[in-house]
Structure 1
Amino acid sequence: MSRKLLWGIITVLLITNIATLLFMSQNDDVIVSEDGEEKAIRSNEPVATIDGEDVTYADWMTVLRENHGEKALQSLIDRHLVSKLAEEKNIEISEKVIERELAYLTSMQGPLEEEELARAEEKWREEVIYRYQLEFLLTEDVPIPEAEVEEYYNVYKNQYDFSPAMQLSHILVSDMETAERIYGELEQGANFEQLARENSIDDETKNSGGYLGFINTSSQFFPDGYEEIANEIGEHSYSTPFAAGNGVAIIYLHQALPEIEFSYEEIKPYVENELALHEKNISLQATPLWEEHEIDWLYGN
């Protein structure tokens, strides 16, 4: 994923969240999406109180509309227009490309529960599809010579692949007896992060609940023996105690991200788009598409 595309996705996600606040209402119940969670409130009730003084729902909506209304509405129009044109032109984004982008976005996150991850991936998928559809629409009339595409691919082809990685936490102790005690507490429902903070002898990770982060399986920093154990357990689960290089460990596998590799033919259309955007200095904005269509909206024509 190019840095330009990545920041584009993040920006659209922020605007989409604002749009959700502005427009997702139904009668007196308003659904507010915050960090993937939904909360019902009533428009005739205060949204906050300060020393007994109410901040009304109407006040809140007014501020949102005045500060974010135009951008939020523009974003909604952009998305509808891009989706409509992509359908008309039969623009389909490769599922393999989508999975790669989801893997990149996932690898930028801290630990997420299964439900949190599912909600996040649903949003990310929508944004990845939108951004790639927009790329195709903006660059469809910009020819790139085959030789140039091949040359660029041969130099940068590794950047289009995704290396397998695991998101891990661990509890490292000095002996098996301590590890067995901790394992027993886990089996009784104790929290892995809390036990790591209380018991781990790894000073670099104990204060963060034993979190090691995402580690490429080919990395020299991947702890010896951890990959083999992680391959034997499922995601969002912990291992039995095992001897590690400098003690006895229990690991928690948050997620395992698979290797994703592309042939030249699979990735060629996306390389062409990337080169066209760069050579013509095209911004990833849907505004140029408006000129070809009749769009009448609240803020102008």
Structure 2
Amino acid sequence: MSGKTLWSVIFCLVIINCFTVGYFLSKERNVIPVSSNDQTSETIATIGETSITREQWMAELESRFGKETLKELINIRVVEELAEKYKITVSDEVIERELAVYKSMYNSLDEGTWRDQIRYSILLEEILTRDVTIPEKEMKAFYEKNKDLYNIDVSYHLSHIIVETENEADLIVEELKGGSSFEALALEKSLDEFTANSGGDIGFVSKDNEFISNEYLEIAPKLSEGEWSDPFKVETGYAVILLHERLEGKSYSYEDVKEQIRRQIALEQMDGSVAVEPLWEEMNVTWFYGK
């Protein structure tokens, strides 16, 4: 397994956790207080002669998702309070660097939510490894051995529409010029079943992408952000692509990623365990399910 493939696997594992945490981080910012006048016996659905009350609905939600939901909320609070206790912060520069790596390897992201997720993950790793010292020599050796992991190729966030004939592709361009939505046209007309339902979005692509025609990477650099291409021939017909964003390539120095390397080696020495629950005791956590 190559270094970049291994790195992709690691990021996939982190991303699974990030989606869960990100959901609760976003919910925390949008909590709506429940009025004291709300009645749990309120009927929220009727089926013939029977009804479902808000109380029944909430009880079912708690039964299915209550424990995990509460656990995630506790974890977020524990990490935030411990970070404040130990004066651990994450700079915008570090978050932007991590975000750039995610972007270069995965599809389009909700950047606001992902910044919160990345911050949470780094804070947790810093808390868990705060007392671990890794020799400078070991960290430098790791960097030299895995230097390719810290080189980001120039990448392009693209959407595409694939049709059978050049005439159909020309009509797509005319509709775009007339104000039609690229996403709607992809959903309606694109032959690529894997991307049509997402408005033709194929995410970020670079020279290492094995699933994209070379023509895409020849045409994308000539486009401005928000601009679509003229039709061009591909293996499955004719394509029109839209450039959403260009991500500039960059090589990160040892000093740039030194702390990330320290955390990674430290976590490996801890069997890679990145969990909040062992920290609950320090924060005197008690909860409903612990009764």
**What is the match of residue 81 of structure 1?**
78
- Pair 1:183 & 2:142 matched: no
Give ranges in structure 1 of 5+ residues lacking alignment. 30-40
Q: Is the 8 A contact 1:164 1:256 kept in 2?
A: yes
What displacement does 1:276 show?
A: 0.9
- Equivalent of 2:124, from 127, 134, 139? 134
- Pair 1:27 & 2:34 matched: yes
Q: Is the 8 A contact 1:179 1:249 kept in 2?
A: yes
**What is the match of residue 256 of structure 1?**
246
* Pair 184,78 (structure 1): closer, same or farther in 2 beyond 3 Å: same
**What is the match of residue 280 of structure 2?**
290
User: Which one-letter code corresponds to 2:246 in the other structure?
Assistant: A
Q: Is the 8 A contact 2:232 2:240 kept in 1?
A: no
Taking the aligned partners of 1:199 and 1:295, their CA distance within structure 2 comes to: 54
Taking the aligned partners of 1:59 and 1:52, their CA distance within structure 2 comes to: 16
- Pair 1:224 & 2:221 matched: no
TM value normalised by structure 2: 0.74
What displacement does 1:130 show?
A: 0.9
What displacement does 1:141 show?
A: 1.3
What displacement does 1:94 show?
A: 4.1
Report the aligned-residue RMSD: 3.8
**What is the match of residue 63 of structure 1?**
60
Q: Is the 8 A contact 2:161 2:239 kept in 1?
A: yes
- Equivalent of 2:20, from 11, 14, 37? 14
Taking the aligned partners of 1:207 and 1:294, their CA distance within structure 2 comes to: 48
* Pair 295,4 (structure 1): closer, same or farther in 2 beyond 3 Å: same
Higher-helix-fraction structure = 2
User: Which one-letter code corresponds to 2:61 in the other structure?
Assistant: L
- SS of corresponding position for 1:167: strand
**What is the match of residue 238 of structure 1?**
228
How many residue pairs end up in the alignment?
A: 275
Greater relative contact order (CA < 8 Å, ≥ 6 in sequence): 2
User: Which one-letter code corresponds to 2:13 in the other structure?
Assistant: W
**What is the match of residue 156 of structure 2?**
166
What displacement does 1:138 show?
A: 0.6
Taking the aligned partners of 2:24 and 2:209, their CA distance within structure 1 comes to: 39
What displacement does 1:18 show?
A: 6.7
Q: Is the 8 A contact 1:47 1:57 kept in 2?
A: yes
- Equivalent of 1:108, from 103, 106, 109? 106
* Pair 265,13 (structure 1): closer, same or farther in 2 beyond 3 Å: same
Q: How do 1:200-219 and structure 2 match up within 5 A?
A: 205=192, 208-209=195-196, 212-217=202-207, 219=209
* Pair 65,17 (structure 1): closer, same or farther in 2 beyond 3 Å: farther
Task: Describe the superposition over 1:127-156 as per-residue Cα deviations: whole angstroms up to 9, x where unpaired.
Answer: 211111111111111222222212122111
Q: Is the 8 A contact 2:206 2:217 kept in 1?
A: no
User: Which one-letter code corresponds to 1:134 in the other structure?
Assistant: L
User: Which one-letter code corresponds to 1:86 in the other structure?
Assistant: A
Task: Describe the superposition over 1:5-36 as per-residue Cα deviations: whole angstroms up to 9, x where unpaired.
Answer: 64344335336647949x9442359xxxxxxx
Give ranges in structure 2 of 5+ residues lacking alignment. 1-6
User: Which one-letter code corresponds to 1:130 in the other structure?
Assistant: Y
Q: Percent identity?
A: 31
- Pair 1:122 & 2:112 matched: yes
